[in-house]
Amino acid sequence: MARESLREGLELEGISRSFRVGSREVWAVQDVSLEVGRGETFCLVGESGCGKTTTGRIAAGLIRPTRGTVRFRGDDVWRLSREDFATFRRSVQIIHQNPYASLNPLHSVEHILAIPLQRHHPGLSRREARQRAAELLTMVGLTPPGEFLPKLPHQLSGGQRQRVSIARSMTVEPSVVVADEPVSMVDVSLRAGILKVLERLRDEAGVGFVFITHDLAVARYFGRGGSIGVMYLGRMVEQGPTEEVVARPIHPYTRILLDAVAEPDPARTRTRRRIEPRSMDVPSLLRMPPGCPFHPRCPWYEPGLCDASVPPLRAISGRGSRSASREGPAASGRAVACHRVDESGELPPMAAVAPSGQQVSVR
Ligand SMILES: Nc1ncnc2c1ncn2[C@@H]1O[C@H](COP(=O)(O)OP(=O)(O)OP(=O)(O)O)[C@@H](O)[C@H]1O
């Protein structure tokens, strides 16, 4: 626990988690580390099935990692007393993708908020709980609150339901929120409003966020000033400050992902050359390729190297990155898991390495 902000924060160190599928053991997450302190954001991005939700559930204490350590306020949570573990569980709340499934359809908004409020503050009267529930609704932008308190979940829009879910997570005054695709099931026109509510909780109430999304544009927006981790088939392939990773992605997978995000400046789109994966097929966790999990799709694949061993996530010096550092690898805070990336974070020129003679262009 090196940083002051981690006093109230959460750390995952070398987390792995396997599941039994029939007679096989499948590793959904392997050797993932991240940390989030007060008012900070760690965005976890990657395609469906890469292990984001499993990592989020481990962060929130809903499932136990097979290997690795989860620390909250510096303590290993799986070694806490029953009482302290309950405090940890309250302090790290999770907001799910589907706000309808996570709200009891038979309970009014008032009831949904009052139950955890009264559990968290046992002395609270019904009137006080109602007052606090109204304040929380105002905080998440459901005003006037009196109009929303008696409503049932089905009487609300998807965006309003997600705001109720957010208000509910705030009833217990958490230090950290794991937001698992919080806007992916919300109408596009309402997404910005929900993200603004979450931003306010982070910037004004100091809540730390593990923010899970498959949408890099959303991560780019919400993760400003924070960190981002890109996952592929259960492993972190690139990690670093959001702006730096977005401005200068290093790992071939991150570069391909960012290439697929719409560029707001059409002039840049015209001048940019696209990077295409060698294959569109994502391998199954049940049949993982040997070596680097990305090698079957990677335009930089080098036979005998990339299929021989799993590349470790290693710090890079940041030379050539926008915040070029003279203080060495740790100072840039960037790490990449790729055999082909050199110590300063450079990949070799593309055309020189295409193994099949196939010409692939890069920016
Ligand atoms: N309880 C479980 N039993 C067996 N396999 C599981 C279990 N939970 C997750 N998995 C598998 O682990 C892998 C990672 O799943 P996870 O939900 O963490 O990924 P994700 O990146 O969040 O994907 P999505 O965005 O689709 O939810 C998937 O292949 C999934 O099928």
3-state secondary structure of 12: strand
Residue 27's φ and ψ, nearest 5 degrees, are -95, 105
- Residue 83 pLDDT greater than 60, yes or no: yes
Q: What is the pLDDT of residues 240-273, one digit of tens each?
A: 999 999 999 999 999 998 887 766 666 655 555 5
CA of 61 from ligand 1 middle (Å) equals 16
CB 313 within 8 A of CB 335: yes
pLDDT at 347 over 70: yes
Instruction: Name which residue leads in pLDDT, 316 or 63.
Output: 63
Ligand 1 within 6 A of CB of 85: no
Could you give the CA distance from residue 205 to residue 93 in angstroms, rounded to a whole number? 14
Task: Report the nearest-CA residue for atom 25 of ligand 1.
Answer: 48
Residue 4 banded pLDDT, cuts 50, 70, 90: low
Distance of CA 275 to the CA centre of its chain: 24
Q: Which amino acid is at 298?
A: C
Task: For residue 116, give both structure tokens.
Answer: 């955890």
48 lines ligand 1 (CB under 6 A): yes
Please compute, for residue 223, the number of CA atoms within 13 A of its CA located in the half-sphere on the CB side: 28
Q: For 43-64, what is the mean pLDDT?
A: 95
Please indicate whether residue 51, judged by its CB atom, sits closer than 6 Å to ligand 1.
yes
Ligand 1 contact via 177 beta carbon (within 6 Å): no
CA of 40 to the centre of ligand 1 (A): 26
CB 72 within 8 A of CB 10: yes
pLDDT attached to residue 293: 94
Which residues lie below 8 Å from residue 25, measured CB to CB, with a gap of 6+?
18, 19
Look at the chain and count its residues: 363
- pLDDT tens for 187-197 read 888 889 999 99
pLDDT at residue 304, rounded to an integer: 95
Q: What's the whole-number average pLDDT of the chain?
A: 87
Sheet strand arrangement including 10-21: 24-36, 10-21, 67-72, 75-76
Query: Which class for 289: exposed (0-12), middle (13-18), buried (19 or more C-beta within 10 A)?
Result: middle
For residue 148, the CA-to-ligand 1 centroid distance in Å is 35
- SS3 state at 10: strand
| DSSP result, 272-331 | PPP---S--PPPPGGGPPSSSTTGGG-TT--TTTTTTSPPP-EE---TTSTT--SS-HHH
What three-state secondary structure class fits 246? Answer: helix
Distance CA 15, CA 57 (A): 12
pLDDT reported for residue 268: 57
Examine the predicted complex and report whether its ipTM is higher than 0.85: yes
The reported pLDDT for the residue numbered 361 is: 38
Is a pLDDT exceeding 70 seen at residue 353? Answer: no
- Cα distance between residue 308 and residue 350, in whole Å: 21
Instruction: Tell me, in angstroms, the distance from the centre of ligand 1 to residue 54's CA.
Output: 6
Q: How many CB atoms lie within 10 A of CB 77?
A: 22
Residue 231 CA: nearest ligand 1 atom is: 21
* Dihedral class, residue 28 (left if φ above 0, else alpha if ψ from -120 to 50, else beta): alpha
User: For 31, how many CA atoms within 13 A lie in the half-sphere containing its CB?
Assistant: 11
Residues 293, 337: Cα–Cα separation, whole Å: 10
Pairwise CA distance, residues 28 & 204, whole Å: 35
Q: Determine the pLDDT at residue 196.
A: 94
Tell the residue nearest (CA) to atom 14 of ligand 1. Answer: 51
Spacing, Cα 56 to ligand 1 middle (Å): 11
**The predicted structure's pLDDT at residue 273:** 59
- What's the CA-to-centroid distance between 339 and ligand 1, angstroms? 27
Q: CA Rg, the chain, in Å?
A: 22
143 three-state secondary structure:
coil
| Residue of 54, 180, 237, 282 to test ligand 1 pocket, by largest number of atoms within 8 Å of CB | 54
Give the separation between CA 202 and CA 39, rounded to whole angstroms.
5
Question: Is the pLDDT score of 344 beyond 90?
Answer: no
Residue 282 CA to residue 212 CA, distance in Å, equals 20
Note the pLDDT of residue 203.
93
184 in ligand 1 pocket by Cβ < 6 Å?
no
pLDDT digits (tens, 9 = 90+) for 11-27: 999 999 999 988 899 99
Is the pLDDT at 357 greater than 70? The verdict is no
* CA 228–ligand 1 middle distance (angstroms): 20
Q: What percent of the chain has pLDDT over 70?
A: 87
Rounded Cα distance, 184 and 39, in Å: 23
CA trace torsion 278, 279, 284, 288 (10° rounding): -30
